[in-house]
């Protein structure tokens, strides 16, 4: 049985408003900007990015959890409005979500990430299953909607818990211990290299000295824009810092760190420096064959400082 009359109209209006809010956050919210340029392109999902907040409520956890929960209402509301079976509803949603991801990537409002599509589709699936269990053969009354919502919450928590436990078990089975650490300047690149320096850096950021322990390089118009290193799957992680020294104007510049020549499914880190910093990062290298650092500048005066770029080998 589907919704009829006034209840149907209210549900349609609620779904329309909800969709408008979703599109707002997709294209305008979270500080997205046309000036950032096109983002990364990840065609092959490597994981389901859901977990329990055992390390606290981080932005990464919040974003991925919201990406999952926000699509659950579509899974249980649409079958109450339109007579549709699961294969059709999930097929249409995957097509729509994929199209929206492509629009984000093409317009520079975000990136195309297959993991987002997978997470969104999982949310729709949970909503659909919840309405099947909650409705049964009961008439569509308030108690039925309450049942559907309670079941949706229970299924969502169960799904996140199962995925989290799977991640924990998988990490233990495939665990790789970190080994010896090296400064990136100690490795010979496949291309022209940055002019790395060692010792104290003669720069300050926000009035504080830049505490260099390994290496640093001021990337300006005299430095190459792109440097590639051969890793041969021998490394555990890359860590480092970026920032704009006090003596230089803050301008739009991005440091793109990609693996395996940016191929589909490879990791891509975009570190945008519209504030002085310092900004730190830690990038797992997994089974990476190559590491490429690319600096995107709007003009020749754009300058950025990289320091303590450290490679850690696998033990």
User: What confidence score (pLDDT) does residue 69 get?
Assistant: 95
The answer to whether residues 61 and 117 touch, using CB atoms and an 8 Å cutoff, is no
Other beta carbons within 10 angstroms of residue 97's beta carbon come to: 18
Indicate the Cα dihedral angle 255, 210, 280, 54, nearest 10°.
-170
User: What confidence score (pLDDT) does residue 103 get?
Assistant: 84
Residue ranges of the chain whose pLDDT lies below 70: 1, 26-40, 138-143, 262-276
- Which segments of the chain belong to CATH 2.60.120.1060? 179-314
The answer to whether residues 250 and 274 touch, using CB atoms and an 8 Å cutoff, is yes
* CB within 8 Å of 135: residues ≥ 6 apart: 1, 144, 147, 148
The answer to whether residues 216 and 200 touch, using CB atoms and an 8 Å cutoff, is no
257-278 CB burial, b ≥16 within 10 A, e <16: bbbbeeeeebbbebbbbeebbb
Q: What's this model's pTM, rounded to 2 decimal places?
A: 0.59
The answer to whether residues 227 and 240 touch, using CB atoms and an 8 Å cutoff, is no
Per-residue model confidence as pLDDT tens digits over 40-74? 677 778 789 899 998 777 777 888 899 999 999 99
Helix runs in the chain, H state only? 5-27, 59-69, 72-81, 86-107, 114-135, 142-173
N-terminal to C-terminal alpha carbon distance within the chain: 60
User: What confidence score (pLDDT) does residue 91 get?
Assistant: 94
Q: Look up residue 247 and give its two tokens.
A: 């003596």
Fold of 179-314: Jelly Rolls (2.60.120)
Q: Look up residue 11 and give its two tokens.
A: 């549900």
Per-residue model confidence as pLDDT tens digits over 103-112? 878 877 777 8
CA-to-CA dists, residue 182 to 34, 76, 192, 193, 275, angstroms = 37, 52, 19, 16, 28
User: What confidence score (pLDDT) does residue 39 get?
Assistant: 56
Tell me how far apart the alpha carbons of residues 116 and 111 are, in angstroms, rounded to a whole number.
Answer: 10
User: What confidence score (pLDDT) does residue 36 get?
Assistant: 34
User: What confidence score (pLDDT) does residue 139 get?
Assistant: 67
Query: Residue holding tokens 């301008």?
Result: 251
């Amino acid at each position: 049985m589907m919704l009829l009359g006034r209840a149907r109209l209210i549900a349609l209006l609620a779904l329309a408003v909800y969709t408008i809010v979703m599109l707002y956050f997709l294209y305008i919210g979270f500080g997205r900007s046309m000036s950032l340029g096109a983002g990364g392109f990840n065609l092959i999902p490597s994981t389901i990015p859901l977990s329990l907040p055992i390390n606290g409520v981080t932005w990464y956890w919040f974003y991925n959890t919201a990406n999952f929960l926000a699509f659950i209402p579509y899974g249980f509301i649409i079958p109450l409005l339109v007579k549709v079976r699961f294969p059709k509803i999930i097929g249409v949603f995957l097509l729509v979500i994929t199209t929206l991801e492509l629009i984000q990537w093409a317009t520079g409002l975000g990136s195309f990430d297959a993991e987002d599509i997978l997470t969104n589709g999982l949310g729709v699936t949970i909503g659909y299953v919840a309405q099947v269990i909650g409705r049964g053969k009961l008439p569509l009354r308030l108690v039925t909607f309450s049942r559907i919502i309670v079941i949706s919450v229970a299924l969502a928590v169960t799904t996140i818990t199962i995925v989290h436990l799977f991640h924990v078990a998988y990490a233990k089975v495939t665990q790789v211990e970190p080994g010896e650490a090296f400064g990136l300047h100690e490795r010979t690149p496949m291309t022209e290299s940055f002019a790395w320096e060692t010792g104290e850096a003669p720069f300050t950021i926000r009035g504080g000295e830049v505490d260099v322990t390994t290496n640093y390089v001021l990337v300006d118009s005299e430095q190459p824009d792109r440097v590639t290193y051969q890793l041969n799957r021998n490394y555990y992680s890359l860590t480092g810092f970026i920032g704009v020294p006090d003596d230089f104007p803050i301008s739009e510049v991005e440091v793109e760190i990609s693996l395996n020549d940016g191929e589909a499914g490879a990791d891509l880190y975009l570190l945008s420096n519209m504030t002085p910093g310092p900004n730190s990062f830690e990038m797992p290298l997994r089974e990476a064959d190559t590491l490429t650092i690319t600096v995107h500048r709007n003009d020749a005066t754009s300058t950025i400082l990289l320091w303590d770029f450290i490679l850690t080998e696998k033990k």
